[in-house]
Amino acid sequence: MIDLAEHAHEGRPIPIKDIVQRQGISHKYIEHVMSLLTKRGLVNGFQGKGGGYKLNRDPAACIVWDILQATEISLAPVACLQASAAPCPRAQECRTLPMWNKLDALLQNFFQGITLADLMQNDLTRKKILLEKK
């Protein structure tokens, strides 16, 4: 996503082969990730000659939480908090559930407070942004 944002000024879709070359990530993996991001509406894919991918919104409006939700199976710290989890029969007496709920909320709040534009900043600025958001 950062690669797409940094090369958006070119005004054309970014071919996967260019991302693969710059990022050193396998073509198959990038295709998989782009498919997930396209399904969630975070990027637009273009087929054919001159095809590739473009961000669907401004980097300042691309929230890291949304990107992670699109690309990760689950962000829940424990299985019982996953969206697809069946209600836990022990939830009422579980002594650790409040701790896991708090961690889940902290993770969500942390990643919702970071945008793609934040991550595009230079190293010193990025470190400052991430430390402030803790």
What pLDDT shows up at residue 133? 60
Report the alpha-carbon distance of residue 62 to residue 111 in Å, rounded.
Answer: 11
Q: Which helix (H) or strand (E) holds 38?
A: helix 27-39
Q: Which helix (H) or strand (E) holds 54?
A: strand 52-55
pLDDT of residue 134: 53
* Cα 86 to Cα 20: distance, rounded to the nearest angstrom: 39
pLDDT given for residue 27 in this prediction:
93
H or E element that contains 45 = strand 43-46
- Supply the pTM of this predicted model: 0.82
pLDDT in tens, the chain (134 residues): 999 999 987 678 999 999 999 999 999 999 999 999 999 999 999 998 888 999 999 999 999 999 999 999 889 999 889 888 888 888 899 999 999 999 999 999 999 999 999 999 866 556 666 667 65
Give residue for tokens 């958001």. Answer: 133
Using the 8-state DSSP alphabet, how is residue 25 labeled?
-
